[in-house]
A = this chain, B = another copy of it.
Amino acid sequence: MCSETQKAIVLLSGGLDSATVLGIAQKTGFRCYCMTFRYGQRHAIEIEAAKRIAAVNSVIEHRLIDLDLAQFGGSALTDHDLDVPKNRQNLENSDSEIPITYVPARNTIFLSYALAWAEVLGISDIFIGVNMTDYSGYPDCRAEFIEAFQNMANLATAAAVEGKAKYKIHTPIIKMSKAEIIKHGTAIGVDYSITHSCYAPDAKGRPCGQCDSCKLRLKGFAEADLTDPVEYSNDS
């Protein structure tokens, strides 16, 4: 446990992983400030899920940040001309196979904004729901990237140079499998019914059940012997 007055910034996407990370941060005793990015992702449903999660968990503040990452292109998550892959067989990517859903420098940009807000608020602790097990294909979800970012952060800001802050990037779920995340989150009371994980929801906003993200989520619930409380699209 941390001290009662300790504050943290939590990056909240609206998905299962970051909802679990918020639960872990709060359970550890942190008073949380959440940050969600509208970055040209295909579906605003994620943002609505993040708002619900922040509200249900009574976070101190929830900040929405608009970023135009779509202008750079190069990702199926922001470029409507690229198809989100469905029903792929091998969900565990190797380092040499980076998924088309990768968004260039996304976590670097997200963490940079979190660092700016942390400095202004006088906060040293930043939580992010990166995970190496299921998505080793994303370079900016690896522990070595997080460590390098933390090292850079401690040289980047006035607060660090003046000795007022020593930044720590917390990655509590980085080595967990999806099933472990779901089991742990369920044990600490995370409400997965209000999270959204799908890359390609239907017109009613229901998850497709077929994209990589849905497949990993469903596999995780199955392996955890739990039922996913969200309603999937009829097409799936």
User: Which residues of A come within 8 Å of B, CB atoms?
Assistant: 63, 65-69, 71-74, 95-96, 98, 102, 104-109, 112-113, 115-117, 119-120, 139-140, 142, 144-145, 148-149, 151-153, 155-158, 160-162
| A119-B142 contact in complex given A65-B68, A152-B152, C-beta closer than 8 Å | no
Contact B139 A74 (CB under 8 A): no
Q: What is the CA–CA distance of A96 and B161 in the complex, to the nearest angstrom?
A: 8
| A117-B72 contact in complex given A98-B161, A109-B112, A151-B148, C-beta closer than 8 Å | yes
Copies of this chain present in the complex amount to 2
Which residues does chain B contribute within 8 Å of A69, judged by CB atoms?
116
Q: What is the CA–CA distance of A197 and B119 in the complex, to the nearest angstrom?
A: 26
Which residues does chain B contribute within 8 Å of A73, judged by CB atoms?
120
Which residues does chain B contribute within 8 Å of A149, judged by CB atoms?
152, 156
Nearest opposing residue in chain B for A65, CB measure: B68
Contact B66 A68 (CB under 8 A): yes
Nearest opposing residue in chain B for A153, CB measure: B108
* 8 Å CB contact of A108 from B106, B112, B120, B145: B112
| A120-B72 contact in complex given A105-B115, A108-B112, A112-B112, C-beta closer than 8 Å | yes
